[in-house]
Structure 1
């Protein structure tokens, strides 16, 4: 018996697939399992295939849903056809008896269960998801009392009648398997840690929580998959802290609202995905030239255009690095996990205010919309540092109208800023090129001086990033170096664990601009280098080439079908 197991339920969208998975994910977390829950779905309200996969471990946090599958619950034949390749030898298929299951695999255990018929007998066809949960509980040898507790809490506000109905549906599924397939078992390994005190959340929720606790009081956004959950979470929680959520008419307006609120002294942000980030490009330049802090969260999805709205990809990197007309210094952060989303959004607010630049936090659908359980977040890391604000005492010491918001007399390129309402702190914050007080200019010396001033910030930024901008593990002189950014960290780590006996290094980037040039030593020392790039053109590979060189050493591993990398794909490329 191993220390983990995997389970998946699938069917047509609108059949309650997510709720089935959510029930089991919550129960397992409360029982003391570490879980990662992955949702695969199409951009349709109803119809089309969807599935929900859970990987549970008794010993360590799980950051990826896994390549293999122990048990598959199928509401339709499509679920079997599209997912049976993941099943291990001896794996279990539990399918609705409404269809005759067909499989191309040998050595599987197939159980036919009248999920829909039992639900209809209870008067509600959709409750087949609870019947499926009961059937799964018997196969996994999970005590039904764990589900009863969840059912009571989930439906407490809807009355005892609905609670009893769900318990009855659960028991029907449990008893049917027990009576008809008593020997079909895949006992889950026993969880030993206490289930209380552990969080179950996705990256979007972690972003929202981190933003609120780090002083964000305005979120301006327009709904877009897969970033909409940030808007929903913050809408439900920010008003408790005196904040406001503004649903704008489009992403252009949302970004400008966030800039305006930051200009007024309120920590503010906007959230979006690739198409929305494209619309924000002119406003990003506005933030840059006016030196107004701005935090943008881009939950990346498959592109271009509408592309694959419900699939994952890392193809907005070049847009985040170089987007907008003209040249604008900015910071680009790529969190490496769901908990890391919490920590990096706090860092983003501090950096945006310290350097007075746009900070773009690029997550993706893999960590944005999928959940994992983990220990409580370290709230001691919350540090609301509001730097480079001019004090009223400093303004009082100046002659009237003498405040130089864009002073050139600064080695770092950062000038102190005032907040509207401060006496003698008034300045022009227009988007034209300007002189030190903000008045519009076109003369060459001042234009050059202001551009140079703004880009001096990059030098100051670079002093920060070596402590947090990347992680390196492994041999200092590896035969093989595997490089990734953001969410690919989990699969790379697991692939390396299966490369026992080999000299391997793992470099994972968390900051792409400014680029951590200190990492050059790892490329210099490695014999072979593989770059895991979840896009078509190898955007991380190209960035490394531009910043560090080593063109002849870099082998990109590309994937752009909307699905995250698997461990097997990384191993096959590296070993092949």
Structure 2
């Protein structure tokens, strides 16, 4: 029996590759297995190679597995592109239709299965993916009935006959494989799971749920990969809570519309990716100058320009911190797990209102679209805080010509805020420098006072932010301290386990609040480590540069970088770390 399995299905985009993986994984989720899935897909609507790699385990996992046990191939390209991932005992289940061939020197087992022909006999070739699921189940000695609840959920609205046809396709796929192998032998039998049914979701859905629970009632956005699922979630859910979504003509309109709604007192968000954030930069500055709450989700992808719109990268970091012209208070958060994405959605809305500033929730494609097991979310932890917004303000009468001091010079940098239309609460709002009532002012003394007021409002954020740095500390004086952010957490922690087996002492810090930077949290960890290795998905080491700017110790900080559009595998981090130790001899 095996404790975990790595399974991948591949073919041309538009062939149902995503649904094949979804049905396979959902059924195993129902059995209580832990899952982690990642889709490689083309930026084209139809055509181009796509695959879905799913890790199945009896224990919690947060990374893609290094190798591959089973590859389901709907075309020869899938074999050519992915077969190198299979270990020596790996299996290829390929559609007999394209006459599959293994590359020279590849020593794995190939089963040519008539996916298309079996599906055609049942009425439509569209069911070839169900035949493939059945074939996979036979390899794992899984009963085909485990798929019935999933098939009924997906196809039930189309009628009982469609459900039964799909179940027959699964059964026939399983029967074909059983005829190819010894009846008393199972090739890869999974250890039974605990039977607990857990959540199985992508990061975008968890973040959206957190934003909804945190009081978001309006979203203005323009569709873009990999952020579109947030908009799709909100379109379905917000109307049930009295909210709405508007698809704007572009990202500039989305940002300014979100600012306007927040100004009116409605918790509002927008979401995009790198190109869209570039267009929003002037608006982010407007939110900073007018001290209007604004929550923006940046789901990073490969750049620059259109770049690699469907591939993994973490290259927006510096732009999100320093992209706006001028200087404004700004918060940049970085959840590292699906669970954190949920809670950070709530917290982002709270921080935006408490500190009256833009808050950027920085994710990446792997976290946004990777589907994985999630432990139950606690709505009891949801706490809505609106800061100095007085919803029932009773303001003193104003003398003729006087205005409410919306931008009053407060010691904590946070001025009083009322809703538009509040009696005696009238004030100016403008993107130019202004006095305490919002009236435009170019007075040098006023400029300095207003700038200082805005910039000191975040002085207390680090004291109140929940877990600015996730820490996995195993040794007081480690050989290596890994630092990462967002989706690299799982791969780093698996690499740590292997390095410990090699005798290295290893710690890990994952930065959850990247701006303002948690210097006091990171500095002691860096000082105690012999070497610091920063793991990130970009070509220039942006996170490493940020750490050097804030904590120093340049000589001991090294980088492991990946920017080819694919996620880190644990073994890649392990090998590069070991090689660095052997070559540099500095541990």
Q: Which residue in the other structure is 2:52 paired with? A: 52
- The whole-number CA distance in structure 2 between the counterparts of 1:548 and 1:397 is 50
Q: Which residue in the other structure is 2:94 paired with? A: 95
For residues 399-418 of structure 1, what are the structure 2 equivalents within 5 Å? 401-408=402-409, 410-418=410-418
The alpha-carbon deviation at position 54 of structure 1 amounts to 1.0
- The whole-number CA distance in structure 2 between the counterparts of 1:467 and 1:97 is 52
Q: Which residue in the other structure is 1:186 paired with? A: 188
Q: Which residue in the other structure is 2:268 paired with? A: 268
Q: Secondary structure at the match of 2:517?
A: coil
Contact 1:465 1:516 (8 Å CA) reproduced: no
- The whole-number CA distance in structure 1 between the counterparts of 2:74 and 2:186 is 19
The alpha-carbon deviation at position 184 of structure 1 amounts to 6.2
For residues 336-485 of structure 1, what are the structure 2 equivalents within 5 Å? 336-390=336-390, 392-396=392-396, 401-408=402-409, 410-465=410-465, 467-485=467-485
- The whole-number CA distance in structure 2 between the counterparts of 1:373 and 1:472 is 21
Q: Which residue in the other structure is 2:583 paired with? A: none
Which has the higher mean CA deviation after the structures are superposed, 371-380 or 104-113?
Answer: 104-113
The alpha-carbon deviation at position 181 of structure 1 amounts to 2.9
- The whole-number CA distance in structure 1 between the counterparts of 2:161 and 2:105 is 42
Structure 1 segments unaligned to the other structure (5+ residues): none
Contact 1:84 1:105 (8 Å CA) reproduced: no
Q: Which residue in the other structure is 1:516 paired with? A: 518
- The whole-number CA distance in structure 1 between the counterparts of 2:4 and 2:455 is 50
Q: Secondary structure at the match of 1:280?
A: helix
Which has the higher mean CA deviation after the structures are superposed, 66-75 or 149-158?
Answer: 149-158
The alpha-carbon deviation at position 402 of structure 1 amounts to 4.4
The alpha-carbon deviation at position 89 of structure 1 amounts to 2.1
- The whole-number CA distance in structure 1 between the counterparts of 2:311 and 2:33 is 27
The alpha-carbon deviation at position 153 of structure 1 amounts to 2.2
Q: Which residue in the other structure is 1:553 paired with? A: 556
**Alignment deviations for residues 13-50 of structure 1 (CA, whole Å, 9 cap, x no partner):** 11111110000111001111111111111101111111
| Match of residue 541, structure 1, among 528, 544, 558 | 544
Contact 1:470 1:516 (8 Å CA) reproduced: no
Structure 2 segments unaligned to the other structure (5+ residues): 580-587
Q: CA RMSD in A?
A: 1.4
The alpha-carbon deviation at position 397 of structure 1 amounts to 6.5
The reply to whether residue 332 of structure 1 matches residue 329 of structure 2 is no
Which has the higher mean CA deviation after the structures are superposed, 458-467 or 204-213?
Answer: 458-467
Q: Which residue in the other structure is 1:208 paired with? A: 208
Q: Which residue in the other structure is 1:166 paired with? A: 166
TM (normalized to structure 1)? Answer: 0.97
Aligned residues: 572
Contact 2:413 2:457 (8 Å CA) reproduced: yes
C-alpha spacing 1:385/1:399, structure 2 compared with 1 (3 Å)? farther
Contact 2:338 2:374 (8 Å CA) reproduced: no
Contact 2:339 2:375 (8 Å CA) reproduced: no
- The whole-number CA distance in structure 2 between the counterparts of 1:180 and 1:393 is 77
TM (normalized to structure 2)? Answer: 0.95
C-alpha spacing 1:517/1:394, structure 2 compared with 1 (3 Å)? farther
Q: Secondary structure at the match of 1:396?
A: coil
Contact 1:479 1:504 (8 Å CA) reproduced: yes
Contact 1:38 1:371 (8 Å CA) reproduced: yes
Q: Which residue in the other structure is 1:569 paired with? A: 572
C-alpha spacing 1:547/1:71, structure 2 compared with 1 (3 Å)? same
Contact 2:333 2:361 (8 Å CA) reproduced: yes
The alpha-carbon deviation at position 399 of structure 1 amounts to 5.3
